[in-house]
Amino acid sequence: MKKPPATTPVTRRGLARFKGEKASELVPQARLSGPMPWVIAIMIALTVIAAGGGLALNNLAGAARAELAGGATVQIMEADPSERARQAAATVDVLVDIDGVASVRLVPEEELDALLEPWLGVGADNEAVPVPALIDVRMSGPVTEERLDRLKVVLADAAPAARIDAQASWLGPVFEAITSLQWLAIGLVVLLALTSAAAVWLAARSALGSNSETIEIVHLLGGTDSQIARIFQRSIAVDAAVGGAVGLALGLAAIMVMGDRFAALGSGMVAGGGLGWIDWVLIVAIPLVGVLLAMLTARITVLAALRRML
């Protein structure tokens, strides 16, 4: 009769209670040498960029709506300069006495010339290209259709050539485009989250396949599915944490670069798209959510596969 093999340190560790660092030694993982951390890093970086863009667009639209909510513009569409000036002055006199009008400002011709200079050139002849007189009106509340109709009736006699428009209506197509881009950013974030979960699922399945014999032995030694799942869950968590940190750094760098480029435009509307502290908190939380998603996906994948192995 053959003598039973001697008990080695490895065997004794396997016979001990299956938990902690002893369990993790059964499934060796070459974390940084594998592709998983870098896949997660790319996904997190793209998610950070998409989320940053969506939050910036939300802030930009909110600031623009708040600024234009109570604004209206009166244009004096008169070709004769003297008559245009008379009607503009009469319009200002009428508007300042109307209830609900907070402020009235006649835009100087020099300011109009500066605004039109990129299109008409320097020293454009206003008689050859008549420029309407502009009056900026700020209301004490939102500019509704009823308010606009009332202003039109009041100005009908004093300024027959007056045309009144709500400032928010000018940017209606812009707001619609911004809303579409916001939905696109949300869709990208969801798609990237699903892609990350799929990558973790594939990695967990691959690790299970390469360690199937070890897992069967662990089962025979009394290891439970939950204990085995924690091994893979812990390993994926480390990979996700490393990839999340790298992806966050890359995403933040891209946001900073793009922010500097847009700030250089000097546009007041673009300036309203700056990120606040709440936005930065949400962006920094993306890698944490990514780690939790990776751990949950790994645990569900491993438990489902182990049930089929038994």
Contacts of 161 (CB under 8 A, 6+ apart): 76, 77, 78, 83, 84, 87
Asked if residue 188 is part of any domain, the answer here is yes
Report the alpha-carbon distance of residue 307 to residue 298 in Å, rounded. Answer: 14
Asked if residue 208 is part of any domain, the answer here is yes
Distances (CA, A) of 98 to 104, 137, 265: 11, 11, 38
Contact 100, 164 (CB under 8 A): no
Domain housing 80: 69-169
Q: pLDDT category, 11, cuts 50, 70, 90?
A: very low
Asked if residue 192 is part of any domain, the answer here is yes
Same domain membership, residue 146 and residue 220: no
Domain end point (choices 169, 191, 211): 169
Sequential DSSP letters for 178-230: HHHHHHHHHHHHHHHHHHHHHHHHHHHHHHHHHTHHHHHHHHHTT--HHHHHH
Q: Which helix (H) or strand (E) holds 133?
A: strand 133-139
Does residue 41 have a pLDDT over 80? yes
Asked if residue 37 is part of any domain, the answer here is yes
Nearest to 85 by CA among 146, 16, 132: 132
The mean pLDDT of the chain is 75
pLDDT for residue 223: 62
Same domain membership, residue 293 and residue 213: yes
Nearest to 16 by CA among 218, 215, 214, 211: 218
Per-residue pLDDT tens for 231-240?
777 788 888 8
Same domain membership, residue 285 and residue 198: yes
Same domain membership, residue 130 and residue 155: yes
Q: Show the DSSP H helices in the chain as ranges.
A: 9-15, 20-24, 36-68, 81-95, 109-120, 145-158, 167-170, 172-210, 212-220, 225-263, 268-271, 277-309
Does residue 155 have a pLDDT over 70? yes
Report the alpha-carbon distance of residue 302 to residue 208 in Å, rounded. Answer: 7
Average pLDDT over residues 271-295: 83
Same domain membership, residue 297 and residue 214: yes
Same domain membership, residue 178 and residue 50: yes
Same domain membership, residue 237 and residue 116: no
Same domain membership, residue 55 and residue 83: no
Same domain membership, residue 153 and residue 181: no
Q: Which amino acid is at 160?
A: P
Domain end point (choices 134, 169, 204): 169
Domain count, the chain: 2
Report the alpha-carbon distance of residue 156 to residue 170 in Å, rounded. Answer: 22
Asked if residue 3 is part of any domain, the answer here is no
Same domain membership, residue 78 and residue 128: yes
Asked if residue 7 is part of any domain, the answer here is no
Does residue 198 have a pLDDT over 50? yes
Per-residue pLDDT tens for 76-91?
887 777 888 888 888 8
Q: pLDDT category, 249, cuts 50, 70, 90?
A: very high
Contacts of 262 (CB under 8 A, 6+ apart): 270, 273
Same domain membership, residue 186 and residue 53: yes
Per-residue pLDDT tens for 169-181?
666 777 788 888 8
Same domain membership, residue 292 and residue 231: yes
For residue 104, give the CATH number of its domain.
3.30.70.100
More reliable by pLDDT, 151 or 246: 246
Domain end point (choices 169, 191, 224): 169
